[in-house]
Amino acid sequence: MEREPTMSEPTKTKYDRQLRIWGEVGQAALENASICLLNCGPTGSEALKNLVLGGIGSVTVVDGSKVEIGDLGNNFMVDKKSVGESKAKTVCAFLQELNDAVRANFVQENPDSLILTDPSFFSQFTLVVATQEHTIIDSKPDHFLDDLRLNNPWPELKRFVETIDLKTPDPIAHKHIPYVVILVKMADEWAKTHSSNLPSTREEKREFKDLVKSKMVSMDEDNYKEAVEATFKVFAPRGISKEIQDIIDDRYAEVGSNSSAFWVMVAALKEFISNEGDGEAPLEGSMPDMTSSTEHYINLQKIYHTKAEDDCLSMEQRVKDILAKVGRDPSSISKQTIKSFCKNARKLKVCRYRTIEDEFSNPSAAELQKCLASEDYSSAIGFYILLRAVDRFAATYKNFPGQFDGGDREEDASRLRAIAVSLINEMSCDGYELPEELCNEMCRFGAAELHVVAAFIGGIASQEVIKLITKQFVPMLGTFVFNGIDHNSQSLTL
């Protein structure tokens, strides 16, 4: 059974700023998570640093190498005293000092060897930063309509609206009728005089706005100005979006004994929408600020809160019934998890990723052509091709291009270009000319890792890990390429 998230006051104070972003549920998810890092170079170490500071439950570093002199210039988690010592052990000791509430473990072994000899070792972790499907409960979209149901009010809201008279002779009372009430009344009045229940054409929407304006008694009534500005909330279509419809129709919504909590709740959502919801998702229950008398606003809050609570109770019962039906503990999905799901039921996301193997063996031709045709992506696609070429170079010549001072950089550049051209042909990037300066630059830095770039990429990596663990915000799709020369970046969905 899932634990209800509980947090002590000292912990709340310690993580106050991030709690404001992803809340106690998100923080609890972090504190219950275990992360495995393969190889603790500067980028990976920086990613773990951010997660440890954020209060991740535990980290495990798998790295069989020793600290070398060169590590001192780009990894701030090692020092002179640690040269010759286990890099995994040294980095873990540093991470432990940053936050004693986090458990830092290390395995002094080459990740490649461990994957071959004991692949089940990795099943104990929440994340080893490799996934093909990710489900998000709270996607936190930048713009989203308030869930006020102005175009589809439920009986309790209708009854409350009916108790308020827009024709009240009291000017003070008239100025303090909340716009929710005004717009529900106007939508009802519109439906009585028009064949369409809601305004849909541009002309009808203009006519509806004029109808709202006509109810103003004076030009200083802020509540009516708010109502005019919020008329678009009435025009929004009823029911659920196509994206949510696609999720509830997904094959994974046919749940079984091994289904994740997300898909069990999706199955319950599908039942709810067809029954109690009458075509709608559970009500979120929150209200924006608006010009209103205190009495009206509090009464509205209670109506919205009660409806949201009732919807959540219905969802909770459906979740329990589904769990029992598939032979699982009916209480194995916590009330808090269901409550969070209900609050964000209109914002669900399912991200499906291609495997790295798929990307390497069969990159998207359409995406490649789009990138090649765009000046904005020309640099990113060039580095993408070169990074793949570098992998082949290292496999062939047993070192990275330009890695050794005594090596012939021009010869390495020539070899790298030949490999890159071969890749371009394999990827059907006909006509693409790889800029010579990019090849030279790739060889010039000789596989070095600059700390400033590692810190930046590590920060991005930890940000993406937090998105995956908390199931909040939408992670990046595709391969992220950062150009430290021009200070720009692109995500390539190849």
Quickly list DSSP for 169-192: S-HHHHHTS-HHHHHHHHHHHHHH
Is the model's pLDDT at 186 over the cut of 90?
yes
Tell me: the pLDDT tens digits for 229-288?
999 999 888 899 999 999 999 999 999 998 999 999 999 999 999 999 999 999 999 999
Tell me: the pLDDT tens digits for 219-244?
899 999 999 999 999 988 889 999 99
Tell me what pLDDT residue 360 has: 80
Q: How far is CA 45 from CA 454, 463, 481, in A?
A: 9, 14, 19
Q: Which long-range contacts (CB under 8 A, 24 or more apart) does 319-328 make?
A: 319/264, 319/265, 319/268, 322/255, 322/264, 322/267, 322/268, 322/271, 323/264, 326/255, 326/256, 326/257, 326/259, 326/264, 327/257, 328/257
Tell me what pLDDT residue 6 has: 58
Residue ranges of domains in the chain, CATH in brackets: 9-130+453-477 (3.40.50.720), 144-351 (no CATH), 360-448 (no CATH)
Structure tokens at 74: 């780009």
Tell me what pLDDT residue 20 has: 85
Structure tokens at 130: 């490799």
Tell me what pLDDT residue 245 has: 96
Least confident of 153-167, 179-193, 391-405: 391-405
For residues 326 and 257, the answer to whether their CB atoms sit within 8 Å is yes
If you search the block for the tokens 């090849």, which residue do you land on? Answer: 439
**What is the band of 159 on the pLDDT scale with cuts at 50, 70, 90?**
very high
The mean pLDDT value for 392-417 works out to 85
DSSP 189-212: HHHHHSSSSS--SHHHHHHHHHHH
**What is the band of 131 on the pLDDT scale with cuts at 50, 70, 90?**
very low
**What is the band of 132 on the pLDDT scale with cuts at 50, 70, 90?**
low
For residues 187 and 233, the answer to whether their CB atoms sit within 8 Å is no
The mean pLDDT value for 449-463 works out to 88
The mean pLDDT value for 178-203 works out to 90
The mean pLDDT value for 182-208 works out to 90
Phi first, then psi: give them for residue 87, nearest 5 degrees: -65, -40
- Residue 61 burial (10 A CB sphere; 0-12, 13-18, 19+): buried
CA dihedral (396, 398, 399, 400) positive or negative: positive
The mean pLDDT value for 174-194 works out to 94
Is the model's pLDDT at 123 over the cut of 70?
yes
Q: How far is CA 278 from CA 153, 485, 493, in A?
A: 11, 55, 38
Better-predicted residue by pLDDT, 91 or 404: 91
- Bridge pairing between strands 488-492 and 133-136: unpaired
If you search the block for the tokens 């005019």, which residue do you land on? Answer: 228
Better-predicted residue by pLDDT, 128 or 2: 128
Q: Taking Cα atoms as reference points, which of 350, 349, 277 lies closest to residue 312? A: 277
The mean pLDDT value for 83-95 works out to 94
HSE-up of residue 145 (Cα within 13 Å, Cβ side): 19
Q: What is the pTM for the complete model shown? A: 0.73
Tell me what pLDDT residue 129 has: 59
If you search the block for the tokens 């006909």, which residue do you land on? Answer: 430
Is the model's pLDDT at 430 over the cut of 80?
no
Q: Percent of the chain scored above 90 by pLDDT? A: 54
